[in-house]
A and B are shown apart, each in its own frame.
Chain A
Amino acid sequence: MKLKFTLFIILIHLSGWNQTIAFNPRIQTDMEHATIKQIFNEIEKQTTYRIGYSETDLDIHKNINLPALTYILTQLFSLMLKNSGLEYMIKDDYILIVSNDKKTGPA
């Protein structure tokens, strides 16, 4: 039942791209589904990103269907967080899962 991910890091350095989105690795999987926790582990293992979240909000044991063979990192997060009321934000080397309903600007 172990998932096997293969990671392709594609360096698309188009001039003028923002640094934070210039490095968006692609992940390939031969499994049809995996839990969010398993996907997080693979992302952390194969990229320099660290993922932060609250288990109070996020069900990390939820199964995610992965019909495609390859995913771009950001696509994968959209897939995992669909209909969860949560969103992700990338800050430096961290991908943080935060709720999108309480969004407030800094006071």
Chain B
Amino acid sequence: MNKNYFSEIINQFFKSRHSKKTEEKIQQWIIDEENQDKKEKEIFNFWQSLDMETDDNVYESWNKMNDKRNSKPSKRIIKAFRLPKVAAILIPLLLIGGLTFYLTKSHVSNITLTVPYGEQKKIVLPDESVIWLNSGSTLVYPEKFNNATRTVQLCGEAYFAVIKDNSKDFIVETGELNIRVIGTEFNVNAYPDNPSILTYVKKGKVEIVINNETKKIISTSQLLTYNKSVSSYEIIQVSEEKISGWKNGDLFFEKQTLPEIFKILERKFDIRFETVKTLSDDDRIYTISFSNQENINNIMDILGEMARFSYSIDHHKIQVLMETDR
């Protein structure tokens, strides 16, 4: 009786059209969970009893129906199965990534400070150490000194007044030369276009590490000059301190050639030496100093008298003509 009852309703329903009310009622009855397996079985039987060939129209209808559903059932199943697995991989990854990013960020958030030509800057580091940066120099330092050492990178010239901290050494990295201190005042000249790196200790003691190998300790009033091309160094005692005079605007040249002097003037005054007509005696060395009161014209007048050249200034360009070349 049961079997007939289900099969009769289903057969009746699919064989012909009925009133809208009746159709809705039957549809409701079909999708009702009660006796679901029996209803599905009878629908399947009815489907099998139909003698129909599958043609293009059938597939077209099938596709249309799927389009209406807006997604293909097969894919949805795969996605549903994958989601927990994907999440299981992604969530830890995201957590680790995010944590790493957060930690890295808080440790190595570096500040890069570049001083343009014609300017100087005085800055205070997170540990209250004070640094004067000369023209055309770059200093990289962390926002906070969280690491075991207080490490900064210098390209150019700077004067360091480092606050003493026995637990955290202060390190200046310049490439070939690293300067390690606890708390002291010193000047480092490490312009990349200079043939040498100069470290002068104003007060205290510093350890200089050359190429991560040789270690040398110099103290108050000593100057270590490291020659980059031959990897050698010399230490001399400086009686008259003029090396860090630049931070007051003074200029001090000692045993320097004209091209070297001109390079320093270019940085200090933001000028350019246009045609230094092949200086016949490039290797002549000069010693002279200028106070911060002097402008570029005064300096060039004095240099011209001393080294025998004439010059002309046009805006930021200087042309030099050696007397011997005339």
What residues make up the interface of A, taking CB atoms closer than 8 Å to B?
Answer: 41, 44-45, 50-56, 89, 91-94, 96-98, 102, 104, 106-107
**A93 vs B299: C-alpha distance in the bound complex, in angstroms?**
11
**A56 vs B307: C-alpha distance in the bound complex, in angstroms?**
11
B256 to chain A minimum Cβ distance, whole angstroms, is 10
Contacting pair A52 B288 (CB below 8 A): yes
User: A50-B290, A104-B323 in contact; A98/B285 too (CB < 8 A)?
Assistant: no
Task: Please tell me which one of the listed residues B240, B287, B291 contacts residue A52 in the complex, with CB atoms under 8 A apart.
Answer: B287
> What 3 A-B pairs have minimum CB-CB distances, sorted nearest first?
A52-B288, A56-B284, A96-B306
**Can you list 30 contacts pairing A with B, beta carbon distance less than 8 Å?**
A41-B239, A41-B240, A44-B240, A50-B289, A51-B288, A52-B286, A52-B287, A52-B302, A52-B306, A53-B286, A54-B284, A54-B285, A54-B286, A54-B307, A55-B255, A55-B285, A55-B286, A55-B287, A89-B305, A92-B298, A94-B288, A96-B302, A96-B305, A96-B306, A98-B306, A98-B308, A102-B308, A102-B324, A104-B323, A106-B310
Residue in A closest to B302 when the chains form the complex, CB atoms: A94
User: A41-B239, A41-B240 in contact; A53/B308 too (CB < 8 A)?
Assistant: no
**Which residues of B lie under 8 Å from residue A44 when comparing CB positions?**
240, 289
Task: Please tell me which one of the listed residues A54, A55, A91, A93 contacts residue B305 in the complex, with CB atoms under 8 A apart.
Answer: A91
**A94 vs B283: C-alpha distance in the bound complex, in angstroms?**
23
Contacting pair B288 A53 (CB below 8 A): yes
B237 to chain A minimum Cβ distance, whole angstroms, is 13
Number of B residues near A (Cβ < 8 Å) is 25
Q: Does B326 contact A (CB under 8 A)?
A: yes
What residues make up the interface of B, taking CB atoms closer than 8 Å to A?
Answer: 239-240, 255, 281, 283-291, 298, 301-303, 305-308, 310, 323-324, 326
Residue in B closest to A57 when the chains form the complex, CB atoms: B284
Contacting pair A54 B306 (CB below 8 A): yes
Given contacts A50-B291, A55-B286, 20 further A-B pairs with CB under 8 A are A41-B240, A44-B240, A44-B289, A50-B288, A50-B289, A50-B290, A53-B287, A54-B286, A54-B306, A55-B255, A56-B284, A56-B285, A89-B305, A91-B302, A92-B298, A96-B306, A97-B306, A102-B323, A106-B310, A107-B326
**Which residues of A lie under 8 Å from residue B288 when comparing CB positions?**
50-53, 94
**A92 vs B301: C-alpha distance in the bound complex, in angstroms?**
11
**Which residues of B lie under 8 Å from residue A51 when comparing CB positions?**
288
**Which residues of A lie under 8 Å from residue B306 when comparing CB positions?**
52-54, 96-98
**A52 vs B287: C-alpha distance in the bound complex, in angstroms?**
6
A92 to chain B minimum Cβ distance, whole angstroms, is 8
